[in-house]
């Protein structure tokens, strides 16, 4: 506490150190567009995603190294796709590894087995000038290579990235191609087409690509092809399409092989005998398509389907492979259906009838008994891209009503102001006596309701945050070995985003454990297991330290670390230590070094401490090497080298989020929940207590500010500086007077 008092009124400062400028060399001579087209063509490539039936997608790329590195967009290569690179002369190469990826910037580097290629020179995107002439090259619509000249219009921020805006038409297939200056130097990678005009596009600055080249995260194609693939023990596919899974969401993004693009993804979960229900949430990218639930399936072409189609809800019985064997049992509109959004579908199958619901409202009931039994799952049709989540099978999946007493209590608290005393027509007739005054009153009432709605939304958010806090505290109350730190970090992510499916990420983590649990190196000894773990995470799976925006909150969210395989030293260390623990690797723990969290391990109780820098792809260091790298003195205190607790790790992650919160893009109110969570976990955190008191005062929450200042006064040490105590007393007096 005494040390913390010294921090109470200290402001943090930072400095920016710029690299010394390099000597300038004369710029290359400008070329004509025709000259550029001729000289650059050998460096351009066409990238094809190869599916079971042929081509799944086409994009562009360009050579950046003579030994086979190809730059493109991440969305061009997708996930779990075989990739082929076609050179300008028609020769093709199979991609051997995805050398580096950056999901935030939509960039990727591919590796092919080739030598003597002609790379394009990379320019400096920081030096581009508005109005500068540029050219874009690529393979639009998968056709031959082409070149278009235009002008650099501006630099704009899009989704947190600085992008080059160009007055150039960017077509499908141009993505991943180079944007060049008139000297033939790459300034950016084409990535986005403007939604309002065909003659405007955007490119990611080339300097972002340089970071990938310098710090790759290679993933062999054998492993890349497993990313996002559905677990065959849980799902059986029928009639093709491209089914994948990411963070608990199943996606079907290609037409199936059946008539009308039909495709099925059937669960291996057993369906209850007699009456049963199935449910899932679905979202369509194109309402002209169709996707939803399949049930009573024979595993082939016979099944029922309940799904949105053309904005309506449809129930169909499929008795065979073609349209002549299909029977549309119902096709109805519903106000409960939300176009373009997630919709909860549920079907109840009884021996004598079928009842269908959307978002809790019954829309279809039929006494058709043509099919019963079988298996259940998901279905999709035509070209729509469909997302599914929360698929369930059970005897009764209805949302159970609240206890009447509890529901009544909450209704009084939340909805009393919405009670209506008259009908719509009666109200309008009364208002027509003075329409001007009536409109004014309605406007005022509407504004009041909007304010109340905003308060209800904030109340809902706060309820969610407090429920997450309760779950985190319950986990941390367990004995240290039993605390599931990975779950705690996922709950921390869900604290900010209620849509995160914690169970889905925990299952994804189990997949990592399953990959290694029978590996002989893991079972051998700790050094051998550490070496295998390093290869698996950093060489085979592509996990790596954040190259771009180090302060981004995404690096502190474990769900995004698992999705993008990119994070901070502490989030990567959590993953590493938890994986080692589940695999039974002894002597592995987190080490809270100043400035960089690392993993430590010992080969036996008396073994020498070794450090693993997970941010640098598993680089192993001695204590002396790490001390020279991270401290001015070249040494660590003993306290810094002892294994840290899971509670301390979570608090350090929270403080990282707080550090990312105090900037111009985040308001005081948005940062306050992190302080609440820190103090819930560690009520004696004096620095955060002081900060929260200051924030509460700024927000006008005087009672809360007084509570925090009162705590600081009550817990002030007897030997503390008297002048600080006097400042706290004056602060409390001012709060009482306000």
Residue corresponding to tokens 């990739």: 83
Could you give the C-alpha distances from 279 to 219, 298, 345, 346, 394, in angstroms and in order?
36, 19, 5, 4, 9
Return the SS3 of 249. Answer: strand
pLDDT band at 2 (very low <50, low <70, confident <90, very high): very low
CB 643 within 8 A of CB 591: yes
Pick from 74, 59, 41: which is nearest to 142 by CA? 59
pLDDT band at 189 (very low <50, low <70, confident <90, very high): very high
* pLDDT score at 535: 94
Conformation bin of residue 66: beta by default, left when phi > 0, alpha when psi is -120 to 50: alpha
CB 262 within 8 A of CB 275: no
User: What domains sit in the chain, N to C, each tagged with a CATH number?
Assistant: 33-222 (2.40.10.120), 235-394 (2.60.120.560), 475-651 (3.10.620), 661-737 (1.25.40)
Cα separation, 225 vs 49, in Å, equals 12
Count of positions (residues) in the chain: 738
Extract the tokens encoding 690. Answer: 């002081």
36-50, 308-322, 520-534, 567-581: least confidently modelled range: 36-50
* pLDDT score at 667: 66
* pLDDT score at 18: 32
Pick from 559, 593, 637, 487: which is nearest to 247 by CA? 559
- Burial of residue 220 (number of CB atoms within 10 Å: 0-12, 13-18, 19+): middle
β-bridge mates for residue 87, sequence order = 45
Return the SS3 of 432. Answer: coil
Reply yes or no on whether the pLDDT at 683 is more than 80: yes
Extract the tokens encoding 364. Answer: 């279809």
- Burial of residue 249 (number of CB atoms within 10 Å: 0-12, 13-18, 19+): middle
For residue 343, what is the enclosing H or E element? Answer: strand 343-349
pLDDT band at 327 (very low <50, low <70, confident <90, very high): very high
Pick from 322, 215, 191: which is nearest to 262 by CA? 322
For residue 679, what is the enclosing H or E element? Answer: helix 668-681
Pick from 235, 135, 231: which is nearest to 182 by CA? 135
Pick from 363, 365, 376, 394: which is nearest to 275 by CA? 394
* pLDDT score at 12: 30
pLDDT tens figures, 37-82 = 788 889 999 998 876 556 677 889 999 999 999 999 998 888 777 8
* pLDDT score at 13: 29
Q: Which of the given ranges, 334-348, 498-512, 546-560, 658-672, has the highest pLDDT on average? A: 334-348
Pick from 493, 531, 282, 272: which is nearest to 387 by CA? 282
CB 551 within 8 A of CB 567: no
Q: Which residue has the higher pLDDT, 599 or 323?
A: 599
Average pLDDT, integer, range 12-23: 34
pLDDT tens figures, 462-482 = 899 999 999 999 999 999 999
């Amino acid at each position: 506490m005494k040390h913390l008092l010294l921090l109470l009124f200290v402001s943090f400062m930072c400095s920016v150190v710029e690299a010394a400028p390099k000597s300038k060399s004369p710029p290359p001579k400008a070329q004509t567009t025709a000259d550029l087209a001729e000289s650059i063509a050998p460096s351009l490539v066409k990238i094809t995603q190869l599916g079971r039936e042929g081509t799944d997608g086409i994009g562009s790329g360009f050579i950046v190294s003579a030994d086979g590195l190809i730059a493109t967009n991440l969305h061009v290569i997708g996930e779990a796709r075989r990739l082929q690179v076609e050179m300008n002369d028609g020769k093709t190469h199979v991609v051997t590894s995805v050398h580096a990826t950056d999901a935030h910037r939509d960039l990727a580097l591919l590796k092919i087995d080739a030598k003597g290629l002609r790379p394009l020179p990379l320019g400096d995107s920081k030096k581009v000038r508005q109005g500068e002439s540029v050219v874009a090259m690529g393979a639009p619509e998968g056709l031959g290579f082409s070149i278009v000249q235009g002008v650099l219009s501006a630099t704009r921020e899009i989704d947190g990235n600085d992008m080059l805006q160009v007055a150039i038409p960017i077509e499908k297939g141009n993505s991943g191609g180079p944007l060049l200056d008139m000297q033939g130097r790459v300034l950016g990678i084409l990535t986005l087409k403007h939604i309002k005009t065909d003659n405007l596009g955007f490119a990611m600055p080339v300097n972002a690509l340089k970071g990938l080249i310098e710090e790759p995260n290679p993933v062999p194609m054998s492993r890349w092809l497993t990313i996002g693939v559905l677990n065959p023990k849980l799902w059986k596919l029928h009639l093709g399409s491209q089914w994948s899974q990411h963070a608990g969401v199943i996606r079907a993004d290609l037409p199936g092989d059946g008539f009308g693009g039909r495709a099925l993804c059937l669960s291996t979960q057993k369906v209850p005998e007699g009456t049963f229900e199935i449910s899932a949430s679905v979202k369509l990218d194109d309402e002209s398509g169709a996707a939803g639930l399949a049930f009573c399936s024979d595993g082939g072409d016979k099944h029922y389907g309940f799904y949105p189609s053309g904005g309506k809800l449809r129930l169909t019985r499929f008795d065979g492979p073609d349209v002549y064997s299909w029977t549309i049992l119902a096709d109805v509109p519903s106000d409960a259906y939300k176009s373009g959004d997630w919709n909860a579908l549920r079907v109840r199958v009884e021996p004598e009838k079928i009842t269908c619901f959307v978002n809790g409202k019954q829309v279809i009931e039929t006494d058709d008994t043509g099919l019963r039994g079988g298996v259940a799952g998901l279905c999709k049709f035509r070209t729509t891209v469909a997302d599914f989540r929360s698929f369930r099978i059970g005897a009764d999946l209805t949302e159970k009503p609240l206890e009447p007493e509890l529901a009544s209590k909450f209704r009084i608290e939340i909805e009393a102001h919405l009670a209506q005393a008259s009908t719509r027509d009666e109200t309008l007739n009364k208002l027509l006596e003075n329409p001007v005054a009536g409109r004014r009153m309605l406007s005022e009432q509407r504004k009041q309701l909007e304010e109340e709605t905003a308060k209800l939304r904030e109340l809902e958010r706060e309820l969610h945050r407090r429920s997450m806090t309760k779950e985190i505290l319950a986990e941390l109350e367990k004995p240290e070995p039993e605390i599931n730190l990975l779950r705690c970090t996922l709950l921390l992510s869900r604290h900010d985003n209620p849509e995160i499916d914690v169970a889905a990420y925990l299952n994804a983590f189990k997949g990592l454990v399953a990959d290694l649990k029978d590996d002989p190196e893991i079972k051998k000894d700790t050094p051998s297991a550490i070496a295998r773990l390093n290869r698996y995470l950093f060489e085979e799976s592509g996990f790596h330290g954040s190259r771009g925006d180090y302060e981004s909150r995404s690096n502190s969210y474990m769900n995004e670390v698992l999705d993008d395989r990119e994070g901070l030293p502490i989030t990567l260390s959590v993953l590493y230590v938890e994986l080692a623990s589940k695999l039974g690797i002894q002597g592995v723990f987190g080490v809270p070094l100043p400035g960089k969290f690392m993993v430590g391990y010992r080969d036996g109780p008396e073994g020498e401490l070794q450090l693993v820098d997970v941010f640098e792809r598993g680089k192993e260091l001695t204590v002396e090497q790490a001390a020279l790298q991270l401290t001015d003195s070249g040494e660590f205190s003993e306290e810094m080298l002892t294994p840290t607790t899971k509670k301390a790790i979570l608090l350090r992650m929270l403080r990282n989020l707080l550090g990312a919160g105090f900037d111009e893009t985040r308001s005081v109110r948005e940062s306050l929940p992190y302080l609440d969570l820190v103090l819930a976990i560690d009520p004696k955190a004096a620095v955060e207590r002081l900060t929260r008191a200051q924030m509460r005062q700024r927000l006008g929450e005087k009672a809360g500010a007084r509570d925090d200042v009162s705590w600081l006064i009550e817990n002030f040490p007897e030997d503390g500086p008297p002048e600080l105590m006097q400042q706290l007393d004056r602060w409390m007096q001012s709060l009482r007077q306000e």
